[in-house]
Amino acid sequence: MHWLLDGTVGPKTLTAGLFTSAISTASNSPEEYGGTWGGFGKRYGMRLTGIATSNTMEAAFGSMWGEDPRYFRTEGEPFKGRVRNVMAMAFLAHNREGELKPAYARFLAIPGSNFLSNTWRADSEAMTNDALRRTLWGFLGQMGSNAFTEFWPDFHRRILHNKF
């Protein structure tokens, strides 16, 4: 439940939504929302509904199947291994025994929520190819979230606090 709430309305995801909504508003995509503050709000809300749907689906199916959707840092590993882990864990999850297995709940949740969201999206972004593109962005976003979790503590400690 903590993962679901933090991944849906936690500071990391809400901040990411500010950036993605601002970029979409600046490029006026989709055009139906307009390039105004109201359009920004619609884009932010649309992103939030998509994230909430995907996370709820992943948490529900994952709990039934014994998958743990959390990302665990590999601090102490070489950089290359940490990057490999960031990428791999977008597609893997730990089971109840702690073994790595395919993240079946994520494989269902990301595309499922993107196709489902076609029912409430603006017409210009509610086609099959739009859902497929959002699905790709969903897995890339998972990698980005993993990378933030993996490297932010090191960056914060070493760069922001000048502790080398």
pLDDT along the chain (164 residues), means of 10: 92 93 96 96 96 97 97 95 98 97 98 97 97 97 96 87 60
Q: Identify the CA nearest to 150 among candidates 84, 73, 81, 83.
A: 73
- Both tokens of 164, joined, read 């080398």
> What's the domain count of the chain?
1
Q: Give the pLDDT score at 17.
A: 94
Whole-number pLDDT of residue 162: 64
Backbone angles phi and psi of 84, in degrees to 5: -60, -40
The owner of tokens 């395919």 is 102
Contact (Cβ atoms closer than 8 angstroms) between residue 151 and residue 131: no
Amino acid making up residue 65 = W
Cα 149 to Cα 85: distance, rounded to the nearest angstrom: 12
Cα–Cα dist 74/47, whole Å: 29
Domain that holds residue 131: 2-160
Contacts of 114 (CB under 8 A, 6+ apart): 50, 54, 131, 132, 134, 135, 138
- Cα 40 to chain centroid distance, Å, stands at 19
For residue 18, what pLDDT is reported? 96
Put simply, whether the predicted model's pTM sits higher than 0.85 gets the answer yes
Q: Quick one: pLDDT at residue 84?
A: 98
pLDDT value at residue 163: 53
User: Pick from 130, 112, 129: which is nearest to 121 by CA?
Assistant: 130
Looking at residue 143, its pLDDT comes to 97
